[in-house]
Amino acid sequence: MTILLTDQEFHSFRDLVQARTGLDFRARQREALDKAILAGLTQSQATDLNAYSQQLQAAPTDSPLWDDLVASLTVGETYFFRNPSHTSALRETILPSNSRQKTEKEVGRRFREDYNRKG
């Protein structure tokens, strides 16, 4: 494990991220937070960690600054395929009926349109 921030810097950023986003970082996740903070520092063009911390504190949580940091700290995932009925409907109904009538490209387009219309 590579430590990139001092203990004080880690705790300060960890507490700020938790207060603003609800994300909780334990000691075993320190490296991920360290790397995200240093990447955010570079993206923000802040001169140092203190300046980056001040930028984060001043920025609304829905700002691009926070969006970038949160995106680097989280894994985007979908719950669609976690529900067996969704997978069954896709496998047994949507894909067979559409694949007989449409090309693969059209099936994908139609699926995205249906998903976006319902989402």
Longest dimension (CA), the chain: 61
> Tens digits of per-residue pLDDT, 34-54?
999 999 999 998 999 999 999
Phi/psi of residue 113, nearest 5 degrees? -65, -45
> What pLDDT was estimated at residue 91?
79
> Tens digits of per-residue pLDDT, 9-41?
999 999 999 999 999 888 888 999 999 999 999
Most confident range, picked from 3-17, 70-84, 87-101:
3-17
In a shared domain, residues 93 and 67? no
Whole-model pTM over 0.85:
no
Listed residue (33, 42, 41) closest to 13, CA to CA? 33
What residue numbers bound the domain in which 88 lies? 80-118
65 domain-assigned: yes
Domain end point (choices 56, 73, 90): 73
Taking the C-alpha atoms of residue 8 and residue 20, their distance in angstroms, rounded to an integer, is 18
Q: How many domains does the chain have?
A: 2
Which two tokens mark 22? 């609800």
In a shared domain, residues 60 and 113? no
In a shared domain, residues 96 and 64? no
In a shared domain, residues 61 and 84? no
